[in-house]
Chains A and B, each alone.
Chain A
Amino acid sequence: KAGVTQTPRYLIKTRGQQVTLSCSPISGHRSVSWYQQTPGQGLQFLFEYFSETQRNKGNFPGRFSGRQFSNSRSEMNVSTLELGDSALYLCASSMGDSGNTIYFGEGSWLTVV
């Protein structure tokens, strides 16, 4: 059974550009969550999608957006990139119920220069 797949793994962008990150959840999982993690920091929750609807949202500016498709794959977009957006972006999937374990992808390393 394939795990959570994130693409691209590494990318470098320039300030002001926009970026789209992709996440394919484990087959059968309907919930996809996105997190930002900067070096030495904990996980900062961005948003969660469940059955194509945003179920939860963290405290990030509107430059950060996401969506989920009917096959549960998800994308997140960051517009007008800032240097502070440089981070590891992690996607996690689960069945979506309270006791379900979430499984993380290997993440996308974004560097903004």
Chain B
Amino acid sequence: GQNIDQPTEMTATEGAIVQINCTYQTSGFNGLFWYQQHAGEAPTFLSYNVLDGLEEKGRFSSFLSRSKGYSYLLLKELQMKDSASYLCAVRARSNYQLIWGAGTKLIIKP
């Protein structure tokens, strides 16, 4: 079957670094996405990985290992506004369907 696992909730301190993990088991692989969703709002795109390695974009970085079915989102210099849910999604099959994880709720404390 197809499955994506993320921790349900994480807590971190303002100014610190946090790593949100995502593991997946899907039929085929055509890329992995990370989205941020603030409460009551629509998800917004953060990153896309299709090849192994680290993609850096400002305070946010995303890593992918296709052989391990594993990705992580790294957030540096945490700010209070980073409190949100972070969604991992894998485009699994040649029909382009996205499979979504349940999301990780990140709580930032002062």
Contacts and interface: CB of A to CB of B under 8 A. Distances in A.
A28 interface: no
The number of chain A residues touching the other chain, given as a range, is 20 to 34
Nearest to A47: B97
B37 to A, nearest CB: 9
Majority secondary structure, A binding face: loop
B42 A106 contact: yes
A96 B95 CA distance: 10
The number of chain B residues touching the other chain, given as a range, is 20 to 34
B64 interface: no
A99 B43 CA distance: 18
Contacts of A31: 96
Contacts of A105: 42
A15 to B, nearest CB: 24
Contacts of B43: 43, 90, 104
B107 interface: no
A33 B42 contact: no
A41 B87 CA distance: 11
Give me the 8 closest cross-chain CB pairs, A-B, nearest first: A42-B102, A104-B42, A98-B30, A56-B97, A43-B100, A101-B45, A42-B103, A106-B42
